[in-house]
Amino acid sequence: MSYIKGLKCRECHRHYPKEVLFVCEYCFGSLEVDYDYEAIKKVLTKEKILSRPKNMWRYKELLPLEGEPTDGLNTGFTPLIRANNLAKVLGVKELYIKDDSVNHPTLSFKDRVVAVALSRAKELGFRTVACASTGNLANSVSAQAAMAGLRAYIFIPADLELGKVIASLIYAPTVVAVEGNYDEVNRLCSEIASKYKWAFVNINIRPYYAEGSKTYAYEIAEQLNWRAPLHIVVPSAGGSLITKIWKGLKEFEKLGLIPEVKTKVYCAQGKGSSPIVTAIKENSDIIKPVKPKTIAKSLAIGNPADGYYAKDTVLQSGGWAEEASDEEIVEAIKLLASTEGIFTETAGGVTVAVTKKLIEQKRIPPDESIVISITGNGLKTQEAVYEKLPKPIKIKPTLSSFEEYHRKEQ
């Protein structure tokens, strides 16, 4: 049984059928999935959710499929950790980490969106999936397409270090290295997506794909014993995650699963790639594209597709935005690891650094519930911290050599 009503334009609110469409043919606004919430309310209860396996599909009525899910059956329901050590350092009382650095199968939150994209792509009759990505998205599409038996095309800029694609190549997709600058790769992929009958996950089936992010918010609310946190800090690249976390919480409120949402949403970006932060601070209705320059490569989006909606969500919720420099990102990665034992990628460093700043600026009060969104794993961006860590202590293979060092240390 499907609860999708259809697609709806986010700009002019025109309705469209639930097909392979992604922009409004009138105003070229982006489309999003619209659901029959009255019908969902009758069937989706806390008891029903609790009776289901602990993965992202326990909320399947709120995801855009017509049949049963076929992908990502072990994805999601990642830990929500009470971060007391980090809370002490930051001087706050109630701090949580939603840890998608251990998501299945490729250790990032992208596994959620790709699971939805692939299940929906099959329903829509596609046999080939594709994406353009330098990291997490490529890994996830490659792995999940392999599991699903779908053909996968991964487009990357030709100058990307080989090490970055090993976590995709291992699943045997077709990896196409495009000789061109970042803008040219973007333009080419946009053209390929409009010509070939492939499910380009973040282009022509983007309305369905993006819905997967809502499960991150559903899980937080459920893991907080059916309530929304008062503050949530979210890393932003294209801006979609922010809007979907908000949509997810509001849907839970609408269905009566949680009380009124009073969450303030905060946007975190890397300095040098922060067009959404700029728009929020200037309260501008227009996102000015930038040429990204930050070590947080997974957030390096200069022309964010959902930037305007992310800005709108943040300000509507009463939240704010901040950016983190490369040095702050590295320090924050180290801080999270040394306090909570979580090794996050650079995007996580951005989120932790920005949370610290917002607390210092008193934008986030110290005595209210705060969730930090950790969306990826540090093992994927080791080069970012490699030079910034102390080297191991070298000793001879003798007890005396060890004790000599040990005495010095004491």
Partner 1 sequence: MAKKVVKLTFPQRLIKQPLTFQMAKKYNVMPNIRRAKVTETVGELVLELEGRQKDLEKGLEFLSKKGVIVEPIVGDIVE
- Which residues contribute to the site for partner 1 (CB under 8 A)? 11, 22-23, 26-30, 131-137, 155-157, 182, 185-187, 189-190, 193, 202-203, 206, 237-238, 282, 284-286, 288-289, 298, 301-307
- Identify the H or E element spanning 371: strand 369-374
DSSP for 316-344, please give it: HHT--EEEE-HHHHHHHHHHHHHHH---B
Query: Given the complex with partner 1, which of 134 and 346 has the nearer CB atom?
Result: 134
Say how many CA atoms lie within 13 Å of 128 toward its Cβ: 10
Nearest approach in angstroms of CB 279 to partner 1 is 10
Nearest approach in angstroms of CB 289 to partner 1 is 5
Query: Given the complex with partner 1, which of 279 and 364 has the nearer CB atom?
Result: 279
Please provide the size of the chain in residues.
410
Within 143-182, strands assigned E span: 151-157, 174-178
Nearest approach in angstroms of CB 364 to partner 1 is 28
Nearest approach in angstroms of CB 119 to partner 1 is 19
134 DSSP assignment: S
DSSP for 260-319, please give it: ---PEEEEEEETTS-HHHHHHHHT-SSPPP-----S-GGG--SS-TTHHHHHHHHHHHT-
Query: Given the complex with partner 1, which of 131 and 352 has the nearer CB atom?
Result: 131
Query: Given the complex with partner 1, which of 3 and 216 has the nearer CB atom?
Result: 216
Query: Given the complex with partner 1, which of 95 and 276 has the nearer CB atom?
Result: 276
**Residues 94, 80: contact at Cβ < 8 Å?**
no
Nearest approach in angstroms of CB 155 to partner 1 is 8
157 DSSP assignment: E
245 DSSP assignment: H
Nearest approach in angstroms of CB 291 to partner 1 is 10
Structure tokens belonging to residue 236: 């932003």
Nearest approach in angstroms of CB 7 to partner 1 is 15
Query: Given the complex with partner 1, which of 255 and 305 has the nearer CB atom?
Result: 305
Query: Given the complex with partner 1, which of 194 and 316 has the nearer CB atom?
Result: 194
